[in-house]
Structure 1
Amino acid sequence: MGKAIIQLAGIKIYRNRRPVLDIDNMTVTAGEMVALAGANGAGKSTLLQVINMLLPYQQGTLTLFGQDAAKYGRENARFYSAMMFQETLLVRGTVYDNVALPLKFRGCPDSQIAEKVTAALATFRCQHLARRQANQLSGGEAQRVGLARAIVYQPQLLLLDEPFAALDAASRTAILSDLRQVAMQNKLTVLLVSHNFNDVLYFAERVVVLEGGRIVQDECPEAVLRRPATQAVANLVDMDNILPCQVECSGSSVMIRLPGGIEFSKNAPAPARPSACCLPGDAIYILNQSPMRECRPFITLNGTISAITPGIGAYKVSIKSSCLALTLRAPREQTSGLSLGDNIEVGFNPDEIQLV
């Protein structure tokens, strides 16, 4: 494990005597690319502001770069870290002037500023904008310039509070791709707040999910996507199927009952008082297609196709039975012979079910 860049222990923030942030334990090591995810009001931006010493905390300990933040204060955080918000906050003047500002604030010799600014602009492919006025930039251009300004003095930690939220999907993907490459090459530690889970999947190696100011899940993106810890996390990742269920526990086994008399057992620990189960769409198979019949054990049901939605990489097929509605995802070639109103048999393996 690498050197700890951020350590939080027992951090609490109260507003009107109510806790808005309650972090028992969280550590981020050098070179990690971490996404902070959660619904609006979950505490993501609050946590980022605490880490950047913009917001005081009432309890707990924050350690930054191996030093107690309460003792070494705001200046230490500023020296080793950079933060970007949704608004780029570029000042009046040229792009070059904006990117040079952090170097001037830190007393960098004039003889080195031009070289560092040029290199930072080139890193995010915006060196051609150097003489452009900052107020004449497009949204994507402004964000690239903002990133160049953030990394020009080579910080150890980059904090990003949804800076790409207003950009179109193609622009976000391009910028995140460049940022990921820069972070990996320079072993830069990055914390990214984003409401778009596609951004999280594309960029992060680890996802910390907040709910009500607390960490409810801290895993790799794939685990969060397929096995959400709570129903709120399932909604956040746009889980295809969140089904009401009844659960009976017996030792290490649980009996799960779905509407319409569908029931099956599963050897896995259940969370306290589960009220629903999650099932990814790509874990549901079309059993009319003979190769899939060999994949057992399966829970099967018959239904009618109510919608077919094209997508890149996979089509979404909505199925309604007398008791249950399901959405499956399948490659285009597996759906080419299907039509609205067709009767279809589908199945899934109980091991793919996640109780929440």
Structure 2
Amino acid sequence: MNHTIVELTGIKVYRNRQLTLNIEQLSVAAGELVAVAGPNGAGKSTLLQVINMLLPYQQGVLKLFGRDISQTGREDARCNSSMMFQETLLVNGTVYDNVALPLNFRNYTQTEIEEQVAAALKNFHCQHLAERQAKQLSGGEVQRVGLARALVYQPKLLLLDEPFAALDTATRTAILGDLKQVAVANRITVLLVSHNFNDVLSFADRVVVLADGRMIQDDCPEVVLRRPVNLEVANLVDMDNILPCQVETDGREAIVRLAGGVAFRQNKPVPVGAAACCLPGDAVYILNRSSALRRQPLVTINGTIAGITPGIGAYKVRVESSSLSLTMRAPREQATGLISGSQVEVAFNPDEVQLIC
């Protein structure tokens, strides 16, 4: 049974009389790896600061480890929580000294300090840096040491406010991989704020999307990526195709009309005011005469290849018709045989379309 580590109910935060955070209900269970995403000013950092008891809230209830922190358990919550900010501040001294700091504050014995510092440094592959001066570290080394310091006293909750944003992709991916391994092995609950959705996909098993201080979507990364609830989330995840449309209801079905007379039916519920449809690039296919895909209920469009962008694993191919422009993600072996300016027939399954407002 998963115990609830974080629970917010009716939390409201005001700044200069403006409502900046309004969380009706959010629960995070022990061991969950949760990404908090959203545009600038969405309230992501505010949420983490409230959970870390650094920022007061004016309404609502915050429970950490099952206790209302306004009544009791605040000190226990602090002892079981850790947070890293956008800038990891290491103090003068060696890496060992920095990682040992939280243990010294908590009056651990010297033997305990030596054992736990060594284990924390090993977890993040920086044991060779133990005697290095903290001010001499590279950016990636600073973040690894920062994680070792944040987890050296074995907290149950780790809050990360984009501490890896300034790192290159390879370093960031490697550090997140090590963190995920440590968190899963020790059943640490992690809330990670990130603007990079690739980080979200590789690290989190759940995504909470904020906008204007409110939660607008809460689901697994795959659903948020392919089924965004509105235009704001679609732009956040860099949806390949966001196509203006008109939607007509016909009993239980909806008829979706795109530019150029392209139309198809959808059996799924239609959001009120839907005016665009999202279509992932890997749901658009190039057809040939023998394609087995023709047996499916497809929407087909004839167009011209207007651009090909190489990528790892998949290429982005832009196909333009007289009225529509579609981006598809084609496997490398297929894309390398394509030529800009050539005519193609592309298709997609209506079931892959997500209607949004």
**Which bracket does the TM-score occupy, shorter chain normalised?**
over 0.9
| Letter matched to residue 28 of structure 2 | V
Q: 1:231 to 1:295 in 2, by over 3 A?
A: farther
| Shift in Å, 1:147 | 0.3
Q: Do structure 1's residue 61 and structure 2's residue 61 form an aligned pair?
A: yes
| Shift in Å, 1:292 | 4.2
Whole-angstrom distance in 1 between the partners of 2:289 and 2:220:
33
| Shift in Å, 1:308 | 0.4
| Shift in Å, 1:17 | 2.5
Aligned-residue identity in percent: 67
| Letter matched to residue 313 of structure 2 | G
* Cross-structure match for 1:225: 225
| Letter matched to residue 312 of structure 1 | I
Q: Do structure 1's residue 70 and structure 2's residue 58 form an aligned pair?
A: no
Contact 2:67 2:73 in 1 (8 A): no
Q: Do structure 1's residue 338 and structure 2's residue 338 form an aligned pair?
A: yes
Whole-angstrom distance in 2 between the partners of 1:254 and 1:107:
66
* Cross-structure match for 1:185: 185
Whole-angstrom distance in 2 between the partners of 1:20 and 1:149:
31
* Cross-structure match for 1:270: 270
Whole-angstrom distance in 2 between the partners of 1:286 and 1:128:
52
Q: Do structure 1's residue 23 and structure 2's residue 23 form an aligned pair?
A: yes
User: Tell me, what secondary structure is at the counterpart of 1:178?
Assistant: helix
| Letter matched to residue 279 of structure 1 | L
Whole-angstrom distance in 2 between the partners of 1:74 and 1:171:
35
* Cross-structure match for 1:322: 322
Whole-angstrom distance in 2 between the partners of 1:100 and 1:295:
64
Contact 1:286 1:292 in 2 (8 A): no
Whole-angstrom distance in 1 between the partners of 2:121 and 2:226:
38
State how 1:70-219 maps to structure 2 within 5 Å: 70-72=70-72, 74-219=74-219
TM-score (norm 2): 0.98
| Shift in Å, 1:212 | 1.0
Q: 1:80 to 1:293 in 2, by over 3 A?
A: closer
* Cross-structure match for 1:307: 307
TM-score (norm 1): 0.98
1:41-72 deviation digits (Å, cap 9, x = unpaired): 11111100000001101110000001001123
| Shift in Å, 1:15 | 2.1
Whole-angstrom distance in 2 between the partners of 1:302 and 1:133:
63
* Cross-structure match for 2:285: 285
| Shift in Å, 1:174 | 0.5
User: Tell me, what secondary structure is at the counterpart of 2:291?
Assistant: helix
Gaps of 5+ in 1: none
| Shift in Å, 1:334 | 1.3
Whole-angstrom distance in 2 between the partners of 1:18 and 1:325:
41
Q: 1:292 to 1:17 in 2, by over 3 A?
A: farther
| Letter matched to residue 297 of structure 2 | P
Q: 1:14 to 1:252 in 2, by over 3 A?
A: farther
| Letter matched to residue 311 of structure 2 | G
1:227-283 deviation digits (Å, cap 9, x = unpaired): 011111111111000000111223432111111111111001111211210000000
* Cross-structure match for 2:11: 11
State how 1:33-48 maps to structure 2 within 5 Å: 33-48=33-48
Whole-angstrom distance in 1 between the partners of 2:164 and 2:195:
10
* Cross-structure match for 2:260: 260
| Letter matched to residue 318 of structure 2 | S
Whole-angstrom distance in 2 between the partners of 1:295 and 1:38:
39
| Letter matched to residue 331 of structure 1 | P
| Shift in Å, 1:74 | 4.5
| Shift in Å, 1:291 | 2.2
Contact 1:53 1:73 in 2 (8 A): no
User: Tell me, what secondary structure is at the counterpart of 1:39?
Assistant: coil
| Letter matched to residue 67 of structure 1 | R
Aligned length: 356
User: Tell me, what secondary structure is at the counterpart of 1:135?
Assistant: helix
| Shift in Å, 1:304 | 0.7
Whole-angstrom distance in 2 between the partners of 1:268 and 1:69:
42
Q: 1:292 to 1:305 in 2, by over 3 A?
A: farther
| Shift in Å, 1:293 | 4.0
1:269-325 deviation digits (Å, cap 9, x = unpaired): 111211210000000110126324434101111111110011111111001111010
1:17-40 deviation digits (Å, cap 9, x = unpaired): 221111110100000000001111
RMSD of aligned residue pairs (Cα, Å): 1.1
Contact 1:285 1:292 in 2 (8 A): no
Whole-angstrom distance in 2 between the partners of 1:321 and 1:204:
38
1:176-225 deviation digits (Å, cap 9, x = unpaired): 11001001110110000000000000000000111111111111100000
| Shift in Å, 1:2 | 0.3
| Letter matched to residue 135 of structure 2 | N
Contact 2:302 2:321 in 1 (8 A): yes
Q: 1:334 to 1:166 in 2, by over 3 A?
A: same
Contact 2:239 2:278 in 1 (8 A): yes
